[in-house]
């Protein structure tokens, strides 16, 4: 059950939120064989004083964190990262160095989903890919 958190400056994220959401979801769906109808994303639109980034980054800098069940292969996760670098920067003309991606894997029993632990859920999609 991948969940994405997207951090960036409000004035940058807000106008492109829909396109950004679509691009991220297309990457997650394709790389992880995740159902198209399940989209779990949170946008953190930050004020200038709440978002610091290095001098080698522009104001278009974004951070994407994706939390998912453990079990995907290294190749699958790398495919997701490559797809994100391919599809996200063109949305607002950012340079690839303005995008940081972090993937966090958790055991299914560490997630609570719809009233029970994740390892007790019938997901309807494959995790070990």
Q: What is the pLDDT of residues 60-109, one digit of tens each?
A: 999 999 999 888 899 999 999 999 999 999 998 999 999 999 999 988 77
Mean of per-residue pLDDT scores for the chain: 89
* CA within 13 Å, CB half, 80: 26
102 Cβ partners below 8 Å, 6+ apart? 63, 64, 65, 66
The reported pLDDT for the residue numbered 39 is: 87
As a whole number of angstroms, the distance between CA 54 and CA 75 comes to 30
Q: Using CA atoms, how far apart are residues 32 and 18, in angstroms rounded to an integer?
A: 21
- HSE toward the beta carbon, residue 94, CA cutoff 13 A: 26
Phi, psi of 77 (to 5 degrees): -65, -40
Residue whose tokens read 């610091």? 52
pTM of the model: 0.87
Return the HEC string of 84-101.
HHHHCHHHHCCCHHHEEE
**Phi, psi for 55 (deg, rounded to 5):** -65, -15
Distance of alpha carbon 15 from alpha carbon 27, whole angstroms: 20
Cβ–Cβ under 8 Å, residues 65 and 104: yes
């Amino acid at each position: 059950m991948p969940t994405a958190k997207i951090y960036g400056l409000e004035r940058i994220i807000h106008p492109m939120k829909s396109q950004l959401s679509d691009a991220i979801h297309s990457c997650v769906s394709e790389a992880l064989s995740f159902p198209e109808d399940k989209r779990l994303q949170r946008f953190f639109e930050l004020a200038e004083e709440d978002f610091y980034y290095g001098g080698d980054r522009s104001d278009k800098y974004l951070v994407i964190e994706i939390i998912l069940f453990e079990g995907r292969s290294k190749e699958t996760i790398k495919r997701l990262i490559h797809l994100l670098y391919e599809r996200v920067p063109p949305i607002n003309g950012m340079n690839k160095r303005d995008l940081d991606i972090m993937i966090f894997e958790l055991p299914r029993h560490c997630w609570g989903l719809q009233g029970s632990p994740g390892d007790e859920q019938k997901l309807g999609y494959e995790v070990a890919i």
